[in-house]
Structures are given as structure tokens and as C-alpha cells.
């Protein structure tokens, strides 16, 4: 049987991921450490203090090279570990698609998280996700994952049009309008005190 | 928190599926019974005999109405139950996309199955999948799921461009070139005896 050939996007292939961790032999994940998120957390003092204690991996994800055409699909796992900087839950950097009007789907395999969405007109929304849930990131919205569990990784599988592209710059410069803080053990949405709008 | 709103493809939404069965309150699955697959199995006598004993659900899947644009994505679960007609494993009808050059991804949550692929030039391929595996159906290929377990449902989550469309007619008329039979307890690829090419 012709099975388990890797990376044949022209004739089809299977990538054998571990269902709950996304690990697969020979398929590296990109790691983002706390130091990679400089300037993005609301509590700068807590961030500096956390970095002094170490530079943990905050999240990791697949960035598999798939032909960037409008008929192909990119996909992979995202694993966001539990943690906080001050009261703010760990998150992914977040991004718009360069091709702004392309959607993305996230399927949660494990954990408890939020997708934080916002668009360029000022709209925003959170999507709470647990295992089994599929979250729909609509066209035109930047999206960030936030892990609101205190113990489990937030594990998702994502898919989007392979030519969508990533625009990290807008978010890195302006931040998201809203942030997610833990207050009395519960996630609370707050305005970003850095005042970017 | 604005969570668990359903069916808002403009501002985002979460659909709360059961991780391993795909069931979700208020979100029906389309069921295909043995009688819906008339003429598609290679052993007609075995098919008629099986139907006399009942008309079981062979597979079910979500067909959620998502705006059919090139920037949106359709997604859902497919659950293909274990069974055979004669030696031939139960399968889904299979289809091309109307927009032929659009890919599809399948993520296996449970079970053991095959994706059977073929294109219009005569190429074919099988992709064997177990839990965790993501199968890539390339642009231009018809695809059918086949359950090669004798006990478990083959459960997958699929995603594709929402404007891809489905062309079932070509397969219904011509069949797939290859079929999957159980021989000595193992799946074996055979030519379709109906001789369609």
C-alpha cells in the first residue's frame, strides 16, 4: 500500500501526528519562548521578573511548507502551554491574514482556551473552546489563542487557505484591544492598558 | 463572555462537537444508509442479501451551511461505521470538488481507515489513517473514505474551501478505479470489476 509518504501535496499524503500533542517524527514545531513575546504583555514588571526566572516555551506550532496557492490548505497543531504573566494568561502573538478575507478553523483537542478576535473596524469577540469544539475565525479578523487553564496545554488543530499569509506586524505594533486576565480564578476581559486602538 | 453563539460566520462562532463522535446538539448529521449506495459495491448479490437483512446507517456527516465563498471554509465530522458488503469494506460515496483544484484535509480522531484517491488522468493512491493522522487530499483528486476496522467507526474531521462544491455524479456513474477488499483479514486493493475507467 502506498501509505505514509510524507509531503506529497500533488498526489496526497498522510502526516502521522500524535492526537493530543501534535508531535510527529521529523516534523519540527516552531517554538515561541517568553522572550519572543517582549512588549506584548500588559504587566511589564511581571514580564521582566518572569524572564529572570527563565525563558520557558510558551507555545509551539507547525508551519509546514505547503504550496501557497488558493486551492491548497495549510494545517497543523498549535500547543499553548498554561501560564500567566502577572494576571494575564499566556497567549500566542496573534495575526491577521495577509489575504485579509480568508477564514481559519481551529479544532480543540485538549484543554480550555479562548480565541480572541478583532477586526480593523473595532469589533472584537472571544470564542471559548474545550475539547471537541471547532472555532470559526471569520474573514477579516485577527486572532490570538489564550490558554485559560491553570494546568493543561491548549491543543488545537488549525486549517486555512495556504496562500492566506500572516501579518504579525499589525498586532505586534498595536496589540489587541482586549486582554484576558485571571480575576478570582476566572477569566475576565479587560481593555488593553497600553491603550492601542 | 460572548461564547458559544452558533453559526455566526461573519463575527466568529464555536460549534461544540463531541470530540470522538462529532455529535452536537441541534446540528444534524446527514445519514447515508446501505440503500443509498445502490450500485456502488462490487458484489451485487452480497449487496442485495445485506439489504434484505436491514438498512443500516453506513456513514453520517455534517453539511453545515457556510457561505460558499473562496475565503470561507467548510468543515465537519464524518463518521463511517465498520462493515462489509461481501469482501468490500463500507465506504462513503466519494466525490470530486466542483472547483476541481481545491484540496481538503482530513484529521482522524478515531478508528482505522483509508482515503482512496483518484484523478481524471488515471492516477490513484490510498492514504492509511489512524487517530492523530492528517490526510491531505490534493487538488484535482476524487476522494472516498473506507473503514478497514472490523469494530470501530472511522471518525474524521474535514475542512475545505467553502465554495469547492461537490461533484458526486462522476463517481456514481463511473465508480472508483480501485476498491478495497478484505482478504485474509487484511485490506487489499483490487481493480473495480465493474471495469469503469
B78: phi > 0 → left, psi -120 to 50 → alpha, else beta; which?
A: beta
Whether the predicted pLDDT of A196 surpasses 70: no
CATH pick for B30-191 out of 2.40.50.100, 3.60.10.10, 2.60.120.10, 3.30.2010.10: 2.60.120.10
DSSP A167: B
Between CA A191 and CA A195 the distance in angstroms is: 8
Preferred mutation among B103, B121, B160 to probe A, highest tally of A CBs within 10 A: B103
Of chain B, the end-to-end C-alpha distance in Å amounts to 55
Question: What pLDDT is attached to residue B175?
Answer: 85
Exposure class string for A105-129: b at 16+ Cβ within 10 A, else e? bbbbbbbbbbbbbbbeeeebbbbbb
User: Residues near A186 by Cβ (< 8 Å), separated by ≥ 6?
Assistant: none
Question: What pLDDT is attached to residue A3?
Answer: 38
User: Rounded to a whole number, what is the distance in Å from the CA of A176 to chain B's nearest CA?
Assistant: 16
Question: What pLDDT is attached to residue B5?
Answer: 47
**β strands within B3-150, DSSP E:** 13-16, 30-33, 57-61, 73-80, 84-85, 88-89, 104-110, 112-119, 124-130, 133-137, 141-147
Percent of chain A with pLDDT over 90: 89
Contact assignment for A133 to B9 by CB distance below 8 Å: no
Contact assignment for A133 to B159 by CB distance below 8 Å: no
H/E stretch holding B174: helix B169-174
Give the three cell numbers for residue A44: 511589564
User: Rounded to a whole number, what is the distance in Å from the CA of B76 to chain A's nearest CA?
Assistant: 9
Between CA B191 and CA B121 the distance in angstroms is: 16
Between CA B195 and CA B118 the distance in angstroms is: 15
DSSP B36: G
Give the three cell numbers for residue A83: 501560564
Angle at alpha carbon of residue A167, lines to B4 and B100, rounded to 5°: 75
Give the three cell numbers for residue A15: 502526516
Question: What pLDDT is attached to residue B4?
Answer: 40
H/E stretch holding A1: none
User: Rounded to a whole number, what is the distance in Å from the CA of B180 to chain A's nearest CA?
Assistant: 11
CB contacts of B109 in chain A (<8 Å) are: 19
Q: In chain B, which residue's Cα lies nearest the Cα of A14?
A: B135
pTM exceeds 0.90: yes
CB contacts of A137 in chain B (<8 Å) are: 12
User: Per-residue pLDDT tens for A40-92?
Assistant: 999 999 999 999 999 999 999 999 999 999 999 999 999 999 999 999 999 99
The domain spans of chain B are: 30-191
Whether the predicted pLDDT of A135 surpasses 60: yes
User: Rounded to a whole number, what is the distance in Å from the CA of A130 to chain B's nearest CA?
Assistant: 8
pLDDT confidence tier of residue A6, bands split at 50, 70 and 90: low
CB contacts of B178 in chain A (<8 Å) are: none
Candidates A3, A157, A162; nearest CB to B126: A3
User: What count of CB pairs under 8 Å joins A to B?
Assistant: 163
CB contacts of A16 in chain B (<8 Å) are: 130, 132-133
Candidates B2, B12, B160; nearest CB to A141: B12
Give the three cell numbers for residue B80: 463511517
Question: What pLDDT is attached to residue B173?
Answer: 77
Of chain A, the end-to-end C-alpha distance in Å amounts to 55
Q: Which of A125, A51, A55 is nearest to A86 (CA)?
A: A51
Give the three cell numbers for residue B171: 463517481
H/E stretch holding A76: strand A73-80
User: Per-residue pLDDT tens for B55-80?
Assistant: 999 999 999 999 999 999 999 999 99
How many other C-beta atoms can be found within 10 angstroms of the C-beta atom of residue B57?
Answer: 15
CB A137 within 8 A of CB A103: yes
The dihedral through the CA atoms of B77, B15, A159, A128 has a sign that is negative
Question: What pLDDT is attached to residue B51?
Answer: 97
**Residue ranges of chain B whose pLDDT lies below 50:** 1-5, 197
B93 bridge partner residues: none
CB B117 within 8 A of CB B127: yes
pLDDT confidence tier of residue A173, bands split at 50, 70 and 90: confident
B139 bridge partner residues: none
Between CA A168 and CA A2 the distance in angstroms is: 39
Amino acid at each position: 500500500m502506498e501509505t505514509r509518504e510524507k509531503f506529497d501535496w500533488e498526489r496526497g499524503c498522510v502526516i502521522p501526528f500524535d492526537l493530543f500533542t501534535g508531535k510527529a517524527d521529523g516534523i519540527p514545531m516552531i517554538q515561541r519562548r517568553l522572550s519572543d513575546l517582549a512588549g506584548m504583555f500588559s504587566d511589564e514588571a511581571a514580564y521582566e521578573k518572569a524572564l529572570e526566572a527563565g525563558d520557558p516555551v510558551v507555545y509551539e506550532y507547525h508551519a509546514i511548507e505547503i504550496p501557497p496557492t488558493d486551492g491548497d490548505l495549510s494545517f497543523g497543531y498549535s500547543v499553548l502551554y498554561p501560564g500567566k504573566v502577572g494576571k494575564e494568561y499566556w497567549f500566542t502573538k496573534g495575526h491577521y491574514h495577509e489575504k485579509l478575507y480568508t477564514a481559519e478553523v481551529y479544532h480543540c483537542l485538549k484543554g480550555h482556551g479562548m480565541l480572541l478576535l478583532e477586526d480593523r473596524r473595532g469589533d472584537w469577540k472571544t470564542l471559548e473552546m474545550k475539547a471537541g469544539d471547532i472555532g470559526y475565525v471569520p474573514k477579516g479578523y485577527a486572532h490570538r489563542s489564550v490558554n485559560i487553564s491553570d494546568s493543561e496545554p491548549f491543543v488545537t488543530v488549525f486549517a486555512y487557505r495556504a496562500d492566506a499569509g500572516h501579518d504579525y506586524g499589525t498586532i505586534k505594533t498595536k496589540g489587541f484591544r482586549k486582554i484576558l486576565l485571571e480575576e478570582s480564578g476566572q477569566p475576565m476581559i479587560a481593555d488593553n492598558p497600553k491603550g492601542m486602538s
